[in-house]
Structure 1
């Protein structure tokens, strides 16, 4: 299991997404609840049926970009700060309609103002410990979106911290976290191994305030749970757990 050791102050060191071990572990992770409950809600909220060019900010190994191209035929601009993640994405999910970019900061200088129809950031904010940096990213999403374009944030739900879901648990059971506090995340891989990450706790109101501060309007929050038609169909996959009664994800959507 990959781990993050405490520093001299007793806090754990942030996850190094540039590390080959972390990128490989994330690639091996079976994103079952995300596939069933998270991404479809994001795609619907962004109205991808009407989109031509989509921005996937923090694309990781390209799993989401590949689904967008396959399901909607959009062109996808997929960016990430981790060369290790992009190496996997370009090797495993190269596609003529996916344009992968490495970024070292929040600015997307290669994208013109208003050049994107829809934008998303999946599991980006929870991996950033600086609220100012999150604000900069959201402001950049606002800049590159066309008028009427929509932006969606998908993160683990701060209201179900510590709850064990089928493939992950974010935070310790019964523990309350303050704004911006580090949390230990455990991902369960199909091979039985685990991957330990460190993320940050941002309450629902923080997401709403950040999007509003960037200029987004009509901000909505979604907390999907599983229905009977959304249970996993794979006979040998991970067992569906608390997803039926507790929402594992928070999805925040705003319109420019």
Structure 2
């Protein structure tokens, strides 16, 4: 598991998934993610900054190579713990995400070595699209609920499959003209830093389904926000946000931030 979902084997991945194995982890680290750094991660950090402070524990569930976890630690001053299902991702993160306090493997749906109620907040970025069933989503939400204390904040970043077919700066969700139901397979294209594109299968999870699943897992007061480019001009890095037209992102913003509190 990582900040972006798994897909068919490319780049020498050892076990047939794009982000698996050492080569897969390195390929993931080269994903561009410009749209995410405009309309996603800065808004995740903003939501967290309102509820978490210096020295408190923030878990990045599905941390991948650790880029977002590292930035969260530097911006928020929190003690950040990265967790992932991929040992190779964690190895890569340990070598580069120097501001992160520690890393833990997810095995059989449970984060190793982290006790119940250890976290003051959790963020989970682009993990759900790798999960094939509602039961799998509920399992992830339930494990996250185990990790947090009552009242803790959960911030979830997802793409909206209703935005299928639009060519954004660094991704395309699904195919033009297609409509996807809950759990349907769709193909996502991600742009790499060298300008090439990688395709992988994802699963479509309409954002409207998430609040009810979060409630079943023990969260309450779920709310959702779709960041816009106009907002990003004051939330994201100003030079980065003003550096390109972001035409597709302006016309149809594809990312949704869901927040909820542990009951």
RMSD value, Cα: 2.5
1:250 and 1:48 map into 2 onto residues whose CA distance is 19
1:15 Cα deviation after fit: 4.1
1:25 Cα deviation after fit: 2.1
Structure 1's consecutive aligned runs of 4 or more residues displaced over 4 angstroms after TM superposition are: none
SS where residue 209 of structure 1 aligns?
helix
> Does the Cα contact within 8 Å between 1:232 and 1:240 map onto a contact in 2?
no
Partner of 1:200: 203
1:21 Cα deviation after fit: 3.5
Length-normalised TM-score, structure 2 = 0.85
Instruction: List gaps (5 residues or longer) in structure 1.
Output: 6-13
Length-normalised TM-score, structure 1 = 0.87
Task: Give 2:84's match in structure 1, choosing from 70, 80, 84.
Answer: 80
Task: Give 2:33's match in structure 1, choosing from 31, 38, 43.
Answer: 31
How many positions carry a matched residue from both structures?
Answer: 246
Say if 1:117 and 1:173 are closer, same or farther in 2 by CA, change over 3 A.
same
Say if 1:119 and 1:101 are closer, same or farther in 2 by CA, change over 3 A.
same
Task: Give 1:115's match in structure 2, choosing from 112, 115, 118.
Answer: 118
Task: Give 1:187's match in structure 2, choosing from 185, 190, 193.
Answer: 190
Say if 1:118 and 1:191 are closer, same or farther in 2 by CA, change over 3 A.
same
1:182 Cα deviation after fit: 1.0
Partner of 1:69: 73
> Does the Cα contact within 8 Å between 1:166 and 1:238 map onto a contact in 2?
no
> Does the Cα contact within 8 Å between 2:33 and 2:190 map onto a contact in 1?
no
1:239 Cα deviation after fit: 6.0
Partner of 2:133: 130
Task: Give 1:55's match in structure 2, choosing from 53, 56, 59.
Answer: 59
Moved more, 60-69 or 207-216: 207-216
Instruction: List gaps (5 residues or longer) in structure 2.
Output: 1-5, 10-15
> Does the Cα contact within 8 Å between 1:65 and 1:98 map onto a contact in 2?
no
1:83 Cα deviation after fit: 1.9
Partner of 1:22: 24
1:129 Cα deviation after fit: 0.8
